[in-house]
Amino acid sequence: MQKLAVTFLMSGGLITNYYCVSRCRHCLYRCSPQWPKDYISPEVTCSNLETMKKMQCQSIHIGGGEPLLNPEGLLRVLEIANDMGLHIEYVETNSAWFKNYESARAILRSLADNGLSTLLISISPFHNEHIPFYKVKSVIKTCRELGIAVFPWISAFFPEIDALDDRKKHSLEEYKALYGVDYENSILHRYWVSAGGRALELLAEHYPSHPVATIIEHSNGCCPELANTSHFHIDLYGNYIPGLCAGLAIRREDLDAPLDETEYPLLTVLYNHGIGGLLDYVRDHYNYTPAKTAYAHKCELCAEIRFFLVNKAGVTSHELQPVRHYGEGKFEITNK
Ligand code: SF4
Ligand code: SF4
């Protein structure tokens, strides 16, 4: 079998924390208030950034979870990047941390003094279910006052969200009442929602499902996504997340060399034989059978299998990290 080897990093981010005050229904990393409040340490920041530098990463951003829930921690990350001569392209935020203009100015000014040039500010009805929009608008205003560039993600939703009371959170039910029953479905086509994490449940609800045999047939017998480094992440625990396959991991120190298939059996099977190969593997080794006959996406089945391995088969593995990713989810696993 061909060994998966990640030897060059194109563009990616540091995940500083998985803790988040929100619990967006589309969140790729399944972040929520239920995660521990762990934040990336200076040591892990150095090691992750050194790896990115050594592997010629062209563009680095910082995300979470919500990086600004620990402004001092984020400041340390920016200082370390600065000391290493690395430019941070942007920091992501959901703006939930905004309390008042005075404190927001103080936080953003000190971050800007240490290298924050652009803030990617999340703007979507999914976020608005958890965060009143006045906070988002206030952070944008503060950035503009301080000369920090704003990357609104995505600005197309701005007028639709702003039409509702900005001091309150608004459920998707309210959006549907205002913009039509198809609104939730339409968001999925207007927004970049990756098929992973909690979004899988959304996609399963709104997209047509296909029999397992069709899913396997259409998956081309491999998962080249695992080798894609155009939007990778390395987290606060030193896990490299291949592609956008949240819940799968390569230890940072195992990058830049072919992965040993005995150390990484799941990734090796997925890389070489795709979802069909993983299904055969877990059938043979763990007596697994899919809980449903049809799925919206190959990654939905992949995630169901991984939830099964962690929660039913008792597998502990550095490939299935962070393990808290598997501590939630609606996947109905009926087999033992
Ligand atoms: S999408 Fe962003 S704001 Fe929403 S739960 Fe995930 S990390 Fe938090
Ligand atoms: S099936 Fe699994 S390994 Fe393949 S792209 Fe989807 S999440 Fe990644």
Give the residue, out of 14, 66, 128, 135, with the most ligand 1 atoms within 8 A of its beta carbon, to mutate for a pocket test. Answer: 66
pLDDT of residue 1: 85
Asked if 82 and 46 count as a contact pair (C-beta separation under 8 A), the reply is: no
Q: How far is the CA of 94 from the centre of ligand 1 (A)?
A: 7
Q: How far is the CA of 311 from the centre of ligand 1 (A)?
A: 24
Which tokens go with 248? Answer: 């799968």
106 CB-contact burial (10 Å; exposed 0-12 / middle 13-18 / buried 19+): exposed
- Better-scored residue on pLDDT, 189 or 275: 275
Measure the CA–CA gap between 18 and 246, rounded to whole angstroms: 12
Q: How far is the CA of 245 from the centre of ligand 2 (A)?
A: 6
Q: Which atom of ligand 2 is nearest to the CA of 270?
A: 3
- Whole-model pTM? 0.95
DSSP of 20-63, one letter per residue? -S---TT-TT--BTTS------HHHHHHHHHHHHHTT-SEEEEE
- Whether pLDDT at 335 is above 80: no
Q: What is the pLDDT of residues 13-29, one digit of tens each?
A: 999 999 999 999 999 99
The region of weakest confidence among 115-129, 144-158, 321-335 is 321-335
Q: How far is the CA of 29 from the centre of ligand 1 (A)?
A: 8
Q: What is the pLDDT of residues 48-86, one digit of tens each?
A: 999 999 999 999 999 999 999 999 999 999 999 999 999
> Which residue puts its alpha carbon closest to atom 4 of ligand 1?
24
What confidence tier does 331 reach under pLDDT thresholds 50, 70, 90? low
Q: How far is the CA of 283 from the centre of ligand 1 (A)?
A: 34
Q: Which domains, from first to last, does the chain contain?
A: 11-208 (3.20.20), 213-225+257-327 (no CATH)
Q: Which atom of ligand 2 is nearest to the CA of 196?
A: 7
Q: What is the pLDDT of residues 250-308, one digit of tens each?
A: 999 999 999 999 999 999 999 999 999 999 999 999 999 999 999 999 999 999 999 99
> Which residue puts its alpha carbon closest to atom 4 of ligand 2?
223
Q: Which ligand is nearest to the CA of 127?
A: 1
Bridge partner residues of 11 (DSSP): 59
Question: CB atoms < 10 A from the CB of 186, how many?
Answer: 12
Ligand 2 touching residue 203 (CB < 6 A): no
